[in-house]
Amino acid sequence: MSRPLRVAIIGAGPAGVYAADILTKAERDFEVSIDLFEQHPAPYGLIRYGVAPDHPRIKGIVNALHKVMDRGDIRFLGNVTYGKDLTLSDFRHFYDAIIFSTGAVKDADLEVPGVDLPGSFGAAEFVSWYDGHPDVSREWPLEAKDIAIIGNGNVALDVARVLSKHPEDMLSTEIPDNVYSELKNSPATDVHVFGRRGPAQVKFTPLELRELGHVKDVDIIVYPEDFDFDEQSISQINSNNQSKNMVKTLQNWLLDEPSGASRRLHLHFWHQPKEIYGEGRVEGIRFDRTELTNEGRVTTTGEVMDYAVQAVYRAVGYFGSALEEIEFDHQRGVIPNEGGRVLDVHGESVPGIYATGWIKRGPTGLIGHTKGDALETIGYLLEDRLELPAAEEPEENAIIDLLKERGVEYTTWEGWLRLDAHELTLGSSYDSNGVLRERIKVVPREEMVTISRDFGKGQ
């Protein structure tokens, strides 16, 4: 193939950007031409729309992604939705290979009675709201004084921190104005986080857990009965430094006397949700008390515990979304694949179609796993290069002509730089509270597109 290898990557979160970066840097004796597509006008996926605004260290990942995209050897095309603006046939027509890196953004199901009651929310939807996602409502019903959060991962802690923290303490972040206004009027005083397993088995990371202790005017409450460790838990603590550090942090809080703060964040363990109940809306949640079996599985003890709450947030994991014309595993929420090679309904590899990131392996692991995913997928793509189905129109401008013909208001990297600068400028002025803002995130999609496209100039 004398022309460059044309590759489309669908999804501009970390998985997509890492795949593009690895492909551009791979040892090869041929040229590549990469277009990175994103359904939102802005890049970065869950780094922009899935990380709490008061986590600047985690958002530092953006700096690395920015450097990759700012080199100029990867073309960004935002505000383009797969299955709506462009079909699989379209991508096949213009590209030799397609990589899906669409991630997992929906809430995993929690099958308990009452889960659909008003006042029962998915954590992923709440995260999208407080991160200013352009496709969710700008309002959120923050009416509960007592709140339950189901889950023992970092998302559960993010949700708990946002709900219990005084919003004034987040004004220096990129929290959207509408989110600040809603949180300011929240009546919440007690936020309860519940996990099925014990302190030694939590899925938090030590940094996330320790950060709770630095939230002003919030007492962390833990319960002595949750710290009666069995042999398996003791072994876990002794053999794993992360578990040891987190148990130590939790036990230190156990020794602390409440300070009389205006808000309380309760951490409960050994609780398995049994029912969300209420007449017409959430009024409480019922749990089975749990313990570990000799095989390390969770079982119920027969003890049932009720908590009066007016809202429940389900932070039990993310789940992938099916894509048109691509086989999908509805149990695992992933695209069936072998090492990143996408499989059809018969389990055979589909030539030229690949997957990476959470849509490939499921919503587990950290950024390092995402890089490993991308490395594996790109390795197989390069191995398959000579057998890829050739694009009929591989010219770089051909896809742009089609988007214009269809009236798709696509955004570019240059457009993102304009939007980024605009948000930073909005934040550089002082608000009425006299706090310097990191940035003020633009939320409406139409406004993002208008700023990015500069009313169409140069697009």
- The domain containing residue 51 runs over which residues? 5-105+320-410
CA–CA separation, 155 and 150 (whole Å): 10
Domain boundary among 317, 332, 348: 317
CA–CA separation, 308 and 337 (whole Å): 44
**Is residue 451 in a domain?**
no
Phi first, then psi, for residue 95 (nearest 5°) are: -135, 150
Residues 308 and 262 in one domain: yes
**Is residue 226 in a domain?**
yes
**Is residue 421 in a domain?**
no
Residues 61 and 98 in one domain: yes
When divided into structural domains, the chain yields a total of: 2
| Maximum pairwise Cα distance, the chain | 72
- For residue 433, give the nearest of 131, 166, 56 by alpha carbon: 166
Residues 150 and 81 in one domain: no
**Is residue 455 in a domain?**
no
Residues 148 and 129 in one domain: yes
> Could you report the per-residue pLDDT of 98-145, keeping only the tens digit for each?
999 999 989 999 999 999 999 999 999 999 999 999 999 999 999 999
**Is residue 328 in a domain?**
yes
Is residue 56 pLDDT above 90, yes or no? no
Residues 305 and 327 in one domain: no
> Could you report the per-residue pLDDT of 153-186, keeping only the tens digit for each?
889 999 999 999 999 998 888 888 899 999 999 9
Residues 222 and 138 in one domain: yes
Contact 83, 324 (CB under 8 A): yes
> Could you report the per-residue pLDDT of 220-261, keeping only the tens digit for each?
999 999 998 888 888 889 998 888 999 999 999 999 888 999
Residues 15 and 116 in one domain: no
Domain boundary among 266, 289, 317: 317
Q: pLDDT band at 377, cuts 50/70/90?
A: very high
Residues 67 and 190 in one domain: no
Give the CATH number for residue 190: 3.50.50.60
Q: Where are the alpha helices (DSSP H) in 240-324?
A: 241-255
**Is residue 417 in a domain?**
no
CA–CA separation, 190 and 212 (whole Å): 14
**Is residue 453 in a domain?**
no
